[in-house]
Amino acid sequence: MASTDDKAKRREQEKLASKAAKPAKKKSELRETIVVVIQALLIALIFRSFAYQPFSIPTASLQPNLMIGDYVLASKFTYGYGRYSLPMGIIPFEGRIFGNEPNRGDIAVFKPVPQDDNYIKRVIGLPGDRIQMKQGRLFINGEMVEREMVERTTDTDSFNTTLPVIKYRETLPNGVSYIVQEISDTAALDNTQEYIVPEGQFFMMGDNRDRSQDSRVLSAVGFVPFDNLVGKAEVRFFSIKDNINPWFVWMWPGNVRWDRMFTSVYD
């Protein structure tokens, strides 16, 4: 039969063993948490790099279709993978893997040749096309694109400047239809030279025709090489007025555009 001293020793040993086990258990839990966080970050990075990447709309160039404060997801796989599809262009390779050329009327994210920032515009001209603006009307390969007046309204840009505009429904030769806005048909980019789109490049334009710096400005955007495409815009997943940061949740009431969330950018 164990003595009182033996029992006391055993209790003391059990206490010491329990104290030693607690730090080990805490270290194990911390390690597991770090592993889970790293795994989640890797999954997010892979998803962003190869599936869908989120982009915010900071300017009025695609209004009313994409408004300032819209957040969209662009699919990476639609056009295949090029240098600029990957984060920060970290792999400097030429060409595209699984490349598919965009269709006329797509809304595409890209990096213009002279710029570092991502741009988002509509694909208007394909390789070999002749593009020109005459008195506010779009001509593709010598043919005037169909345009029908919708309404007179106003448009507010990123500098909070509001001007009257006319909305038109424009229909491209392939049947893609969308709304464009014009302040007038005599603005600086409403009468242009004829642009001949080089092979392997595309001509991009904003839907807000008098408030868009796009391929019509050769020194700033110009023709966009296929390799410079980032992805095809697909869906709005969030929208908030006045470009308010989306994490300012206390400002959501009255500012979030609930009717624009989780809607196609081609509606």
Q: Give the catalytic positions in this structure.
A: 61, 121
Q: Measure the CA–CA gap between 82 and 179, rounded to whole angstroms.
A: 30
Per-position DSSP letters for 133-183, written without gaps between them: EETTEEEETTEEPEEEEEEEEEEE-TT--EEEEEEEEEE-TTS-EEEEEES
Q: What is d(CA 201, CA 223) in angstroms, rounded to the nearest whole number?
A: 6
Q: Given strand 162-171, what is the order of strands in its sheet?
A: 146-156, 162-171, 177-182
* Burial label, 151 (beta-carbon count in 10 A; 0-12, 13-18, 19+): exposed
Which amino acid would we find at residue 229?
L
Task: Count Cβ atoms below 10 Å from residue 61 Cβ, excluding itself.
Answer: 24
> End-to-end CA distance of the chain, in Å?
85
Query: Which residue type sits at 141?
Result: N
Say how far apart CA 165 and CA 145 lie, in whole Å: 19
Q: Which two tokens stand for residue 146?
A: 């169909």
**Cα atoms in the Cβ-side hemisphere of radius 13 Å centred on 193:** 8
Q: Which residues contact 248 (CB under 8 A, 6 or more apart)?
A: none
